[in-house]
Amino acid sequence: MGIAMTIWDQSRECMSRDQLEQLQLERLQATLNRVYRNVSFYKKTFDRIGFDPEDIDDLGALSVLPFTSRKDLAAAYPYEMFAVPLREVVRIHASSGTLENPSIVGYTANDVRHWQDLVARLLTAVGVTRDDVVQVAFNYGLFTGAFGLHYGIERIGASVVPASVGNTRRQVSILKDYRTTTLVCTPGYALRIAQVLERMGIDPKTLALKRGIFGGEPWDEQMRTAVEQQLYIRVYDNYGLSEVMGPGVAGECLNRQGLHLAEDHFIAEIVDPVTGQILPDGSTGELVLTTITKEAFPVIRFRTGDLTSLDRTACPCGRTLARIAGIAGRCDDIVIVKGVNIHPVEVGPILREVTGTEPAYQLVVDRDDAYQDRLGIRIAVSEALFFDKMEKQRVMVDRLRKKIRDTLGVTPDIYLVEAASIGTDSETAPRVVDKRTRGKPGA
């Protein structure tokens, strides 16, 4: 049996499929009319395939349109993808991608209002009310995570504590003294907090903390259980990405059988990451999202790179919105370490800069005993990298580590290895080896 619960927007979250699809069609047509008129990228893309927005007679026709990739967004840096003049834009964020140009995303006043409401939905779905104190331990800055959740928390009238990141001892003091009931952060950071609590001799049972709402990095049931057991809380998953909006795209309800997707604002498709073919409900593939209410930064068939599946069966909570399974991983080269998107190809130029050559390399991501993400970079030793003095080699490795940290935002462990252990053939040797578990709830 499911758990009865409050619903933020009954009129939208519990529509019949029929009503929902009519609304989606109306909003999709309006969105396509707007992007065709206002975004040169889409004008060109549509013209190239001889498509006119009036050709969309039903939702299925969406599949004739080409995908939009992260590369397309990066090429539009900074504002080329905006569908409204800058004077209509009230907020600007950037995606955490570090590929040459990050994607700059904008929001109109209306976009911000929708965003608040969608975050309010996912908070309400896990039982947050105006009586809660919510501590946001995400980086307040260009990323969408912190601000997105922040305004949604305010929207439902709960107290938001913008703790931001870092200084875990201070986070713990806030947790304890401000009587935080809800913690918002990455699951990895929640475990870090648990560690520090223990070190400070604070019993988690004495805290007011009831629940954690986590996202921002791939995680699994094992990690969920670990946090729940160490902090004595219930833990919920949510999903969002800056290119599409930020947090609020999808979130779990109390039943925790998948994340309800805001289908009245986004149309989801699951496609085969290789062929791009649409896959039937239930199969795992790449999530493709089309925004149907966004004004400043609409995206059409955006390839998220995230692997999941779609479930349109009824949820005991009463919401009729389809659910996606927790993200099972990524199908592109991007690897998310400590919440930071890393493109492995960016390591090459750094190696060349520091060593004067570009040796074969491989990224290895795993977790330590405390479930903290670890980034290792395996570099093939060649003559150019061979030094007779250990000292000289150590200096070079230090420089590399520092340079990579400054560029990617994550400090790596550097391993110099035999070339044969990586393989120089990029066809067979993966650029990234991700050793973190990927089994997910509801998958």
Partner 1 sequence: MLRLKSIHTYYGNIHVLKGISLHVGPGELVALIGANGAGKTTTLKTISGLIRPTKGEIDFVGVPIRGMAPNKIVRKGLSHVPEGRQVFAKMTVWENLELGGYLEKNNAVVHEAIHRVESLFPVLKKRRHQLAGTLSGGEQQMLAIGRALMGWPKLLLLDEPSLGLAPIVAHTVFQSIARLRDEGMTILLVEQNARAALHISDRAYIMETGRMIMEGPSRELLDHKQIKRAYLGKGYREVWESP
Given the rule CB under 8 A, which residues bind partner 1?
Answer: 19, 22-23, 25-27, 29-30, 33-34, 37, 53-58, 84, 87-88, 108-110, 113, 293
CB of 57 to partner 1, least distance (A): 4
| Residue with Cβ nearer partner 1 (83 or 271) | 83
| Residue with Cβ nearer partner 1 (47 or 398) | 47
CB of 5 to partner 1, least distance (A): 24
| Residue with Cβ nearer partner 1 (102 or 152) | 152
HSE at residue 60, side-chain half, CA atoms within 13 A, is 2
Beta-strand relationship, 133-136 and 159-161: parallel
CB of 18 to partner 1, least distance (A): 9
Q: Give the distance, in angstroms, between the CA of residue 347 and the centroid of all CA atoms in the same chain.
A: 22
Q: Tell me the CA end-to-end span of the chain in Å, nearest whole number.
A: 19
The Cα 299–Cα 32 span in angstroms is 10
CB of 23 to partner 1, least distance (A): 7
CB of 107 to partner 1, least distance (A): 13
DSSP string, 356-412: SS---EEEEEEE-TT--EEEEEEEE--GGG--S-HHHHHHHHHHHHHHHHHHHSSPP
| Residue with Cβ nearer partner 1 (292 or 342) | 292
CB of 9 to partner 1, least distance (A): 11
The residue among 392, 278, 410, 229 whose CA lies nearest residue 336 is 410
| Residue with Cβ nearer partner 1 (113 or 401) | 113
The Cα 207–Cα 177 span in angstroms is 9
Q: Give the distance, in angstroms, between the CA of residue 146 and the centroid of all CA atoms in the same chain.
A: 12
Give the list of residues 6+ apart from residue 101 with CB closer than 8 angstroms, or none.
74, 75, 77, 78
CB of 277 to partner 1, least distance (A): 25
CB of 361 to partner 1, least distance (A): 49
Per-residue DSSP letter, 139: -
The Cα 414–Cα 409 span in angstroms is 15
| Residue with Cβ nearer partner 1 (48 or 87) | 87
The Cα 224–Cα 440 span in angstroms is 10
| Residue with Cβ nearer partner 1 (88 or 221) | 88
| Residue with Cβ nearer partner 1 (82 or 361) | 82
